[in-house]
A and B are shown apart, each in its own frame.
Chain A
Amino acid sequence: SQQGEEDPQALSIQEGENATMNCSYKTSINNLQWYRQNSGRGLVHLILIRSNEREKHSGRLRVTLDTSKKSSSLLITASRAADTASYFCATDASYNTDKLIFGTGTRLQVFP
């Protein structure tokens, strides 16, 4: 079953704008991760945030986690055409960190 649901399903913006994607999940987690997938390729890990963290930064990426609402957001600042990809959140479960369940993904299109 799907653990995470991302919204929006698709997002189109201009270069230089910020892009925000949201992820909601159902069960208690230890960690939440964000991955990126270019069309027809494997996924690439972007950032991990632990359940006891509220915010994390990596370059132009900012991730927040609200465990009370079971939700996370990924912000990409000053977007570039090369950021065009699908973005997925992935969660483990508090009782099983070996099992990672991915959300439905957000397709981001950045126009030059």
Chain B
Amino acid sequence: SQTIHQWPATLVQPVGSPLSLECTVEGTSNPNLYWYRQAAGRGLQLLFYSIGIDQISSEVPQNLSASRPQDRQFILSSKKLLLSDSGFYLCAWSWLDPGANVLTFGAGSRLTVL
């Protein structure tokens, strides 16, 4: 069966520090991968999605970047965090229900920037 792992679960970082959140998927190959951010009590904002290695689409201008070094690994990074980067970051992979991408989410990473 497929599983998705996301870490770290909780992170407290000072403004200006770097960030690396990691997401890996097991039990499938060539999944679509997604990073979303959720501000407290709010909806999900799509940050990046990837339909394959070296195919990453950025949705929101920001100081974040994403990389996909392996087929089932998706990393969210920042060189210098801002206060506004605080939030709940969710990684997801999609499986195809013909003609539709259905998402399976990780448990999330809660980032607090101080």
Contacts and interface: CB of A to CB of B under 8 A. Distances in A.
Secondary structure type dominating chain B contacts: strand
A103 B43 contact: yes
Interface residues of B, number: 27
Interface string A71-100: 000000000000000001010100001111
B46 A99 contact: yes
Contact of B102 (A2, A48, A88, A98): A48
Given A2-B43, A100-B46, A102-B44, A31 B105 contact: no
Contacts of B105: 42-44
B114 to A, nearest CB: 20
A93 to B, nearest CB: 11
A100 B94 CA distance: 10
A41 B44 CA distance: 13
B43 A33 contact: no
A64 B45 CA distance: 24
Contacts of A101: 46
B46 to A, nearest CB: 6
